[in-house]
Amino acid sequence: MTTPQRVPTPQEQARLESIRKTWQQRRAITQNLSKIRTKVAVYSGKGGVGKTTIAVNLAALLAKQGRSVGLLDVDIDCPNVINVLGITEPPTRVDGKLAPSEKFGVKVVSMGFFQQKEDEAIIWRGPMVHNAINQFLQLTQWGDLDYLVVDLPPGTSDSPLTVMQTLPLDGFVMVTTPQKLAQLDAKRSINMVRKLNVKVLGIVENYTGDIFGRGAGEALATELGVPFLGSMALRSDYRDETKPTVLTSPTVRKEYERVVKGLKASLAEATKAK
């Protein structure tokens, strides 16, 4: 006698359907991003540490160095990339895909383009945020890129987790400030990234100087055994908002050049380890 085949329960069928859908989404995202050579996320455990400023200036410097660069802002709740860049022209739609806007040699996609009013609050629950991020990843036509810089929202909740689980990243740049609480939150975020088996390419300490102090980023890098990429001093140069500061201040540019050099070394080391 043959044993009758067991029919999956509705709960099991729903779970299998969810797994199938997730696999299809990841496959679509991987295919859509196949022409991007390096994907780096800029991340922090705490808001207000200057993560977006660092993401924008890294992208602008890489573009200035002759690289083809994209910048994806997946901070759905508080998208600020377009404000920092001073870019207003939204992406265009071509054959159902989003063609990114461009400024200073950087291709840009952000939720900020799709707000009717920039001061309105985006009050979305997790599934809506997850859906928006997936649409950006699947529908944006980046073309050939040397680098895609991803500006992540802070914290360890739905939004950054969605990106980490769906976007095949080459690694993370972690941003902290000299304060102990920011250092602690950065440590929490690094531990989260490591649990998801993604490479931490290095730590950047922002806002260093006489006001907030210095050294927390380097100490954290030593403690956790990750590269320390450099420090960004709290300078009046950032008051000039006409361009990313790496394009207006030689002093700031030198700081970012050090970070980019360390970042490229970490990426090369990560490639060797694969």
CATH of residue 46: 3.40.50.300
Once rounded to an integer, what is the mean pLDDT over residues 101-120? 87
User: What is the DSSP pairing of strand 101-103 with strand 97-99?
Assistant: unpaired
Gap between the Cα atoms of 87 and 82, Å rounded: 5
pLDDT given at position 231:
95
pLDDT given at position 4:
66
Cβ atoms of 167 and 74 within 8 Å: the answer is: no
Report the chain's mean pLDDT, rounded to a whole number: 89
What is the percentage of the chain residues whose pLDDT exceeds 70?
98
In a domain, 26, yes or no: no
Once rounded to an integer, what is the mean pLDDT over residues 95-103? 90
pTM for the predicted model, two decimal places: 0.89
User: Domains in the chain: how many in total?
Assistant: 1
Instruction: For 205-259, give the DSSP string.
Output: EEEEBTTTBS-HHHHHHHHHT--EEEEEE--GGGG--SS-GGGT-HHHHHHHHHH
pLDDT in tens, 45-91: 888 899 999 999 999 999 999 999 999 998 888 889 999 999 988 89
Gap between the Cα atoms of 106 and 85, Å rounded: 10
Gap between the Cα atoms of 150 and 73, Å rounded: 6
Gap between the Cα atoms of 186 and 65, Å rounded: 29
Cβ atoms of 153 and 78 within 8 Å: the answer is: yes
What is the percentage of the chain residues whose pLDDT exceeds 90?
58
In a domain, 4, yes or no: no
In a domain, 13, yes or no: no
pLDDT given at position 116:
75
Residue-number span of the structural domain to which 86 is assigned: 36-273
